[in-house]
Amino acid sequence: MKTFEGTLDAAGLRFAIVVSRFNEMVSRQLVEGARDCLRRHSADDDQLTLAWVPGAWEIPLVAQRLARSGEFDALICLGAVIRGATAHFDYVAGQAAAGVARAALDTGVPITFGILTTDTVDQALERAGLKAGNKGFDAALAAIEMANLGRGLASAFRPPANGRAASLAPEAAARR
Protein backbone atom coordinates (compact mmCIF):
# COMPACT_ATOMS: atom_id res chain seq x y z
CA MET A 1 0.00 0.00 0.00
CA LYS A 2 1.27 3.44 -0.90
CA THR A 3 0.92 5.75 2.03
CA PHE A 4 1.57 9.46 2.02
CA GLU A 5 2.11 11.59 5.07
CA GLY A 6 3.84 14.94 5.34
CA THR A 7 6.84 15.19 7.63
CA LEU A 8 7.24 18.00 10.13
CA ASP A 9 10.58 19.26 8.81
CA ALA A 10 10.23 22.86 7.65
CA ALA A 11 13.83 23.38 6.52
CA GLY A 12 13.96 24.97 3.07
CA LEU A 13 10.19 25.49 2.87
CA ARG A 14 8.71 28.92 2.17
CA PHE A 15 5.76 30.14 4.19
CA ALA A 16 3.58 33.22 4.32
CA ILE A 17 1.48 34.26 7.26
CA VAL A 18 -1.58 36.44 6.60
CA VAL A 19 -2.85 37.96 9.82
CA SER A 20 -5.59 40.44 10.70
CA ARG A 21 -4.88 43.44 12.92
CA PHE A 22 -8.40 43.53 14.40
CA ASN A 23 -8.14 42.24 18.00
CA GLU A 24 -4.42 42.81 17.62
CA MET A 25 -3.46 41.70 21.10
CA VAL A 26 -4.71 38.22 20.22
CA SER A 27 -3.37 38.27 16.64
CA ARG A 28 0.16 39.12 17.75
CA GLN A 29 0.19 36.12 20.07
CA LEU A 30 -0.99 33.88 17.24
CA VAL A 31 1.86 35.16 15.06
CA GLU A 32 4.32 34.45 17.86
CA GLY A 33 2.94 30.92 18.19
CA ALA A 34 3.25 30.31 14.47
CA ARG A 35 6.82 31.66 14.34
CA ASP A 36 7.77 29.57 17.35
CA CYS A 37 6.44 26.45 15.62
CA LEU A 38 8.29 27.22 12.37
CA ARG A 39 11.55 27.87 14.24
CA ARG A 40 11.23 24.66 16.27
CA HIS A 41 10.76 22.71 13.05
CA SER A 42 13.87 24.17 11.41
CA ALA A 43 12.25 26.76 9.16
CA ASP A 44 14.54 29.58 8.03
CA ASP A 45 13.31 33.01 9.13
CA ASP A 46 14.29 34.50 5.76
CA GLN A 47 11.88 32.06 4.09
CA LEU A 48 8.96 33.58 6.00
CA THR A 49 6.75 36.42 4.75
CA LEU A 50 4.26 38.21 7.02
CA ALA A 51 1.31 40.21 5.67
CA TRP A 52 -0.95 42.24 7.95
CA VAL A 53 -4.52 43.06 6.85
CA PRO A 54 -7.15 45.19 8.63
CA GLY A 55 -9.59 42.42 9.59
CA ALA A 56 -10.40 38.77 9.02
CA TRP A 57 -12.69 39.76 6.15
CA GLU A 58 -9.62 40.90 4.19
CA ILE A 59 -7.58 37.72 4.79
CA PRO A 60 -8.82 35.59 1.85
CA LEU A 61 -7.97 38.12 -0.88
CA VAL A 62 -4.40 38.55 0.32
CA ALA A 63 -4.00 34.81 0.90
CA GLN A 64 -5.20 34.12 -2.63
CA ARG A 65 -2.81 36.70 -4.07
CA LEU A 66 0.19 35.31 -2.21
CA ALA A 67 -0.75 31.73 -3.05
CA ARG A 68 -1.01 32.61 -6.74
CA SER A 69 2.50 34.08 -6.72
CA GLY A 70 3.97 30.58 -6.69
CA GLU A 71 6.49 31.73 -4.08
CA PHE A 72 5.17 29.72 -1.15
CA ASP A 73 4.88 26.07 -0.18
CA ALA A 74 2.08 26.87 2.26
CA LEU A 75 0.25 29.78 3.86
CA ILE A 76 -0.95 30.28 7.40
CA CYS A 77 -3.97 32.50 8.07
CA LEU A 78 -4.32 33.98 11.55
CA GLY A 79 -6.79 36.27 13.24
CA ALA A 80 -9.52 36.57 15.82
CA VAL A 81 -13.20 37.12 15.18
CA ILE A 82 -14.99 37.69 18.46
CA ARG A 83 -18.78 37.70 18.73
CA GLY A 84 -20.41 41.05 19.45
CA ALA A 85 -23.99 42.16 19.94
CA THR A 86 -24.93 42.01 16.26
CA ALA A 87 -24.83 39.52 13.38
CA HIS A 88 -21.59 41.08 12.09
CA PHE A 89 -19.59 38.21 13.61
CA ASP A 90 -21.41 35.62 11.53
CA TYR A 91 -20.72 37.39 8.25
CA VAL A 92 -17.05 38.06 8.98
CA ALA A 93 -16.29 34.62 10.45
CA GLY A 94 -18.25 32.74 7.79
CA GLN A 95 -16.74 34.57 4.84
CA ALA A 96 -13.23 34.43 6.25
CA ALA A 97 -13.49 30.66 6.58
CA ALA A 98 -15.13 30.17 3.18
CA GLY A 99 -12.67 32.54 1.51
CA VAL A 100 -9.60 30.84 2.93
CA ALA A 101 -10.91 27.43 1.86
CA ARG A 102 -11.64 28.78 -1.62
CA ALA A 103 -8.20 30.36 -1.97
CA ALA A 104 -6.59 27.01 -1.17
CA LEU A 105 -8.81 25.04 -3.54
CA ASP A 106 -8.48 27.57 -6.35
CA THR A 107 -4.69 27.79 -6.17
CA GLY A 108 -3.71 24.30 -5.03
CA VAL A 109 -1.53 25.79 -2.32
CA PRO A 110 -2.12 24.54 1.25
CA ILE A 111 -3.57 27.34 3.37
CA THR A 112 -4.20 26.59 7.01
CA PHE A 113 -6.88 28.18 9.15
CA GLY A 114 -5.75 29.74 12.41
CA ILE A 115 -8.52 32.32 12.61
CA LEU A 116 -10.18 32.10 16.01
CA THR A 117 -13.96 32.41 16.10
CA THR A 118 -15.00 32.82 19.71
CA ASP A 119 -17.83 34.16 21.83
CA THR A 120 -15.58 36.10 24.19
CA VAL A 121 -12.20 37.81 24.40
CA ASP A 122 -11.21 35.38 27.15
CA GLN A 123 -11.85 32.40 24.89
CA ALA A 124 -9.69 34.01 22.23
CA LEU A 125 -6.84 34.74 24.65
CA GLU A 126 -6.99 31.19 25.99
CA ARG A 127 -6.36 29.93 22.45
CA ALA A 128 -3.58 32.42 21.78
CA GLY A 129 -1.00 31.13 24.21
CA LEU A 130 -2.84 30.62 27.50
CA LYS A 131 -4.57 27.52 28.81
CA ALA A 132 -5.94 26.22 25.52
CA GLY A 133 -2.60 26.30 23.67
CA ASN A 134 -1.80 28.51 20.72
CA LYS A 135 -3.81 28.03 17.54
CA GLY A 136 -1.15 29.93 15.61
CA PHE A 137 1.33 27.20 16.52
CA ASP A 138 -1.19 24.53 15.45
CA ALA A 139 -1.91 26.24 12.13
CA ALA A 140 1.82 26.49 11.38
CA LEU A 141 2.31 22.81 12.20
CA ALA A 142 -0.49 21.87 9.81
CA ALA A 143 1.11 24.08 7.14
CA ILE A 144 4.46 22.29 7.49
CA GLU A 145 2.79 18.89 7.21
CA MET A 146 0.70 19.90 4.20
CA ALA A 147 3.67 21.48 2.41
CA ASN A 148 5.65 18.26 2.76
CA LEU A 149 2.67 16.14 1.79
CA GLY A 150 2.38 18.27 -1.34
CA ARG A 151 6.01 17.60 -2.19
CA GLY A 152 5.53 13.86 -1.71
CA LEU A 153 2.42 13.78 -3.87
CA ALA A 154 4.06 15.93 -6.56
CA SER A 155 6.97 13.56 -6.92
CA ALA A 156 4.72 10.46 -6.92
CA PHE A 157 2.03 11.60 -9.33
CA ARG A 158 2.50 13.33 -12.65
CA PRO A 159 0.24 16.26 -13.52
CA PRO A 160 -2.66 15.06 -15.71
CA ALA A 161 -2.66 15.91 -19.42
CA ASN A 162 -5.18 18.73 -18.96
CA GLY A 163 -2.47 20.72 -17.24
CA ARG A 164 -3.88 20.84 -13.73
CA ALA A 165 -0.93 19.84 -11.57
CA ALA A 166 -1.30 17.14 -8.95
CA SER A 167 0.96 19.03 -6.58
CA LEU A 168 -0.66 20.92 -3.76
CA ALA A 169 1.55 23.86 -4.68
CA PRO A 170 2.31 23.40 -8.39
CA GLU A 171 4.07 26.72 -9.06
CA ALA A 172 6.27 26.39 -5.99
CA ALA A 173 7.14 22.81 -6.92
CA ALA A 174 8.04 23.87 -10.46
CA ARG A 175 10.65 26.34 -9.18
CA ARG A 176 12.55 23.70 -7.24
> Which residues form the catalytic set?
88
Binding mask 42-81 for ligand INI (x = CB under 6 A): ------------xxxxx--------------------xxx
Nearest to 30 by CA among 169, 144, 141: 141
Q: How far is the CB of 71 from ligand INI (least distance, A)?
A: 25
Please list, in sequence order, all residues whose beta carbon lies within 8 angstroms of the beta carbon of residue 91, skipping any fewer than 6 positions away: none
15 binds ligand INI (CB under 6 A): no
Size, binding site for ligand INI by CB under 6 A: 16
12 binds ligand INI (CB under 6 A): no
Burial 133-160 (b: 16+ CB within 10 A, else e): ebbbbbbbbbbbbbbbbbbbbbeeeeee
20 binds ligand INI (CB under 6 A): yes
Distances in Å between the Cα of 103 and the Cα atoms of 1, 25, 53, 160 are: 32, 26, 16, 21
Q: Name the residue nearer to ligand INI (CB basis): 115 or 172.
A: 115
Q: Which residues bind ligand INI (CB under 6 A)?
A: 20, 22-23, 54-58, 79-82, 84, 88-89, 92
